[in-house]
Structure 1
Amino acid sequence: MMNIEYRKLYICSTTQNIEERRADHISKLNIGTGSFFHQAIGTYGPEVFQWEIIDTATDLNELALKESMHITPLILAIIKTLEGVLERKYISIQIGVVILVNGLLYLGLL
């Protein structure tokens, strides 16, 4: 999904069709459960999100693998950007661990 107004990208996986998934996200927003993505829908409104299928899978293992395959380049770009920002501030870092939990990126610094 892409927030077309602010150019924020969200990647997720599902076994539902795209309309069911969209309805599920809006339902979770309306009952007050969910994640950062549901908060983004509440903040910006569902109409500013472009929903698109970027890949398909035949089973759950392939689905998880493909989700990681699409997320990994984004994580690497984030790391590169963070390293550049910190280097300009004369702070040296080494990133040792990257963990994605419920859509939140955690970086372990060495």
Structure 2
Amino acid sequence: MTVAWVVLVLSGLMETAWAVALDRSQGFSRPVPSLIFVVTLVLSMIGLGYALKSIPVGTAYAVWVGIGAVGTTVVGMAWLGEPTSVARIACLVLVVAGVVGLKVFH
């Protein structure tokens, strides 16, 4: 795996972090989650921009969004009390399969 792919995966994880921080900021009324949101958003965008130097935009963006969406959903289900069901988990597996497919067939 190249550096660009590692950075892209880390950027996707930062997307999860900023999405959760945005929720926890309660409309930017709480300073610590608001600051975490800003920092992780900027880091996520910088990483995505770096990855786009060598990974096609369609592939990079889909992988970035997929990691962020799956990560945010898992955090929501595991720690934030969001509903968990076999159907939701199956859908997450499909998203992961799509992300892996984009990497494999890149």
Same fold (TM over 0.5): no
Q: Which has the higher helix share?
A: 2
Higher strand share: 1
Structure 2 length-normalised TM:
0.33
More relative contact order, 1 or 2 (CA 8 Å, 6+ apart): 2
- Structure showing greater radius of gyration is 1
> TM-score normalized by structure 1?
0.32
